[in-house]
Structure formats: C-alpha cells, structure tokens
Amino acid sequence: MADAGQVLILAGRFDPTCDLVVEELNRRAVPVFRADMAEFPLRLTLAASLGGDRWYGTLTNGRRTLDLASVRSVYYRRPTRPKFPDRMSPEARKVAETEARWGFGGLLAALPCRWLPPPGKAADAEYKPRQLRVAAEAGLRVPRTLVTNDPHAARDFADSIDGPLVYKPFFPVRGTVHGQTAAVYASIVNPDDLPHPDIATTAHLFQEWVPKAYEVRLTAVGGRIFAAEIHVDSDAGHIDWRSDYDSHTYKVCEPPPDVAAGVLRMLDRLGLPYGACDFVVTPEGVWRFLEVNPSGQYGFIEQATGLPITAAICDYLEGNGQ
C-alpha cells in the first residue's frame, strides 16, 4: 500500500506535461503541493528545524502550507531559478543565489522520500559522454562518437567511418534570433567541410550517421517501459524529429527484450527512476541508442498513442513500483 502524505511538485508555472500529473493525482485524491523555485524567496517561505534524524517545518506560498514531514515524494519537473528583489546589488544577488541553492535546495534534497528524478543524479546523467558510456556498458548499441575541439581530429574521425557525420549540441540550445525563437538541432556534417576552424572554439560532439527506418521514443518509469515509433515525413525531421513535430505519425511498439533490459540496466546505473530514451531503428531492425533525458517530455507521446505514462508516474509518486 502506498504511503500516506503529500506529493511536492517542483515545476515551472506553465508546464502542460506537469499539468497531466497534477490532474491525475487530483483524480486519485492524492494531496499535491505545487511550487516553482522561482517563487523563493519572494512568494515562498521556508521554515524548518532538525529534530532527531528528520527535518520538520513548513513551506508556505501565501495560499497553502506544506508540512515538510508529510512529503511522500517529489516530482522534479524543470523548476526555474529563484528570483530576488530588483533592488539587490549584483554582489548581494550572487550571494543570495548561492545561499538559496545550498540552503533551500539542500533542505529539499534532505527530505527522506522518493524523487522523480533525483536532481543530483539527473544532473549527472545530462552529461552525454557519461550517459553514452553507461548505455554501452548496459549492452545498448551506441553510434561511434567523437568529442573534440580539434578540427583535424574531426576530419580523421570522418575518414575512419567513411560516411556522413552528425553534429549534436551537448545540451539543448534555444534562444531568440531577430525576434524569432530558434533552436540548434542535430545536423549533417559534410566531411569535405572538415577540418573547420570553428571546431577549435569549444567542445563538439560528432557521431556517425545511422540509417533510419524510423525512430523510437522509449519512456521508462519505475521499471515499466512504454515505447512508440516516430515516423517523420520531412527532410529536416528525418535528421532530427524534434525540428518538425507537425510531420509526425506515431505507433505503439514493443522493444526487443535485450533493448528493454539494457534500458533498465542503464537507468539503474544512472540512479534514475525515469528516462525518456531516443533510439534509431535501422532498415535491418537494429535499435541504436541516441540519448536519455532524465526529465524528458512525454505528453505528446501519450496524447498520440494513449500509452498510460502519466498513470505510471503517479503510481511511482504514490509509492508504488520500484
């Protein structure tokens, strides 16, 4: 039986994926306290003291109060950073931001409950070189990959694979250019353009191009796996499906047993109860692992396929499952 208590949800104010979880927990009559770390310290007040081996106290947002001792689980959905008074000097703001991270964030991390995902382990898993190594250790097939700032090493890598290269950013790059939102997606690199001097300016990630029959978004929650094929009908989407959601069609699929087992081993070694994994399936039916996102979106998959991912997340937050 699930433990009694509240679910603390830490997320940005506008998060449709988080809304799905809140709605399902409300349907189950599970008490929820939702907050964004951006509300601290101006609209969120913390008071906690250590009693024995536990922290006791409250988190208050002016409308509701959370008893910290009652928290059974935390859903950590990309909260935004704390905000401070505009009148603060840059020096004082820097100190306040540091103290908020180690004080407020540290207090939340000290709560003896399950997290989805645990922030520290999720942050570690965001490092693509680490997740690729762990995926390979877990038995998943990973494309040949190079990390470098050496233009000549990039050319040598291209020569060694004798085929197209893909460039990928290590972390999502989004912003505004000339008033329009913009993002950097995976792109094909012409080997004839190498060596390129811009490679020397920072770390770059290159992978061999893997021929695609289709791609798969595999979402794992508490030991349960939900997979959907992603078929894309555009040139840009064929390189990176995230660049053209409008061209997608989806189909529920069953991953091969060795892939499912490898995903669960990888997440266990990364210390993650949740992971949104991307795979390429080749024309020969071979599954090649691309990446795992410890807090990746899943709502678009659930909406298109009916896969019960929200229910699995709420099961985990209630205290059921692994």
Please write the tens of the pLDDT for every residue from 40-56. 999 999 999 999 889 99
Does residue 269 have a pLDDT over 70?
yes
Query: Which comes out higher in pLDDT, residue 16 or 261?
Result: 261
Structure tokens, 248 = 């997608």
Does residue 243 have a pLDDT over 70?
no
Does residue 112 have a pLDDT over 70?
yes
Read off the DSSP letter of residue 244: -
Domains along the sequence of the chain with CATH: 6-116 (3.40.50), 123-141+211-307 (3.30.470.20), 145-208 (no CATH)
Percent of the chain with pLDDT over 70: 91
Quick one: pLDDT band at residue 233, thresholds 50, 70, 90? confident
pLDDT recorded at residue 2: 45
pTM of the entire predicted model:
0.89
Distances (CA, A) of 264 to 47, 160, 272, 317: 38, 32, 9, 19
The answer to whether the CB of 37 falls within 8 A of the CB of 10 is yes
CA distance 224 to 109: 25
Structure tokens, 74 = 């935390």
* Tens-digit pLDDT profile for residues 159-218: 999 888 899 888 776 666 556 665 667 788 888 888 999 999 999 999 999 999 999 999
pLDDT recorded at residue 46: 96
pLDDT recorded at residue 171: 79
What is the H or E stretch that residue 231 is in?
Answer: strand 224-232
pLDDT recorded at residue 178: 59
CA distance 290 to 287: 10
- Is the torsion defined by CA of 254, 257, 263, 264 positive or negative? positive
Give the list of residues 6+ apart from residue 142 with CB closer than 8 angstroms, or none.
Answer: 132, 135, 136, 288, 289
Indicate the average pLDDT of the chain: 90
The answer to whether the CB of 144 falls within 8 A of the CB of 101 is no
Query: Which comes out higher in pLDDT, residue 4 or 113?
Result: 113
Quick one: pLDDT band at residue 1, thresholds 50, 70, 90? very low
Chain Cα centroid distance, residue 5: 26
